[in-house]
Amino acid sequence: MNTKENTLLADFLGWEKEGFYFNLKTGNLVKKGNDNCDLQPAMYYIKNGKPVQSLLFNSDWNWLMLVVEKINTIEGGRFTFQIMSMDVEIHDYLKGGLYIDFFSGNTPDQLIKSVYEACVEFVKKYSYE
């Protein structure tokens, strides 16, 4: 999936970015660089105090549910995230009615893709309010 969209979800959760160096020889991350030409600077999100090399919102339910939970708790429960078969609705109780009505057209084995795409659509719309 698109790294840009995963980054959008990490930003929505308020995750911080921090600079590290990736050691090309060992594959390890190090906090401080030196004159070693095998180190490549990189920015990583921090999750539970550790750098995350890959954002997994599009493929891991545990990650994606962090976004769903945040949507459900915005402004004291303004939004309700509902999964119905392969479709997703997000209701807005402050303004009344549907906020996002996402019809995916995905197959049942792609439920995570439907929820992921609805989350991305929500964050894009909510960001512009």
Q: Cβ(79)–Cβ(90) under 8 Å?
A: yes
Report helix, strand or coil for 116: helix
**Which among 129, 128, 123, 126 has a CA at the least distance from the CA of 2?**
123
Instruction: Give the pLDDT confidence score for residue 115 in this predicted structure.
Output: 92
Q: How far is CA 125 from CA 12, 14, 69, 100, in A?
A: 12, 17, 17, 9
| Bridge partner list, 40 | 22
Distance (Å, rounded) from C-alpha 125 to C-alpha 54? 25
Neighbour count for residue 52 (Cβ, 10 Å)? 14
Distance (Å, rounded) from C-alpha 55 to C-alpha 5? 10
- Full pLDDT tens readout for the chain, 129 residues: 458 899 999 999 998 887 777 677 777 666 665 656 666 667 778 787 777 878 899 999 999 999 999 999 999 999 999 988 778 899 999 888 889 887 767 666 788 888 999 999 999 999 887
> The whole model's pTM is what?
0.79
